[in-house]
Amino acid sequence: MQTTLDKLKKKLLQPEVKQPVTEQIKERARTSIIAKLKQGREDVARRDAERKQRPMKKHEQEL
The pLDDT tens digits of the residues spanning 27-41 come to 888 888 888 999 999
Interacting residues of 49 by C-beta distance below 8 A, sequence separation 6+: none
Phi, psi of 52 (to 5 degrees): -75, -25
Q: pLDDT grade, residue 45 (50/70/90)?
A: very high
The helix (run of H) or strand (run of E) holding residue 15 is: helix 15-53
Q: Burial letters for 40-59: b for 16+ Cβ neighbours within 10 Å, e otherwise?
A: eeeeeeeeeeeeeeeeeeee
Answer with the residue of higher pLDDT: 59 or 29.
29
Q: pLDDT grade, residue 19 (50/70/90)?
A: confident
Average pLDDT, the chain: 84
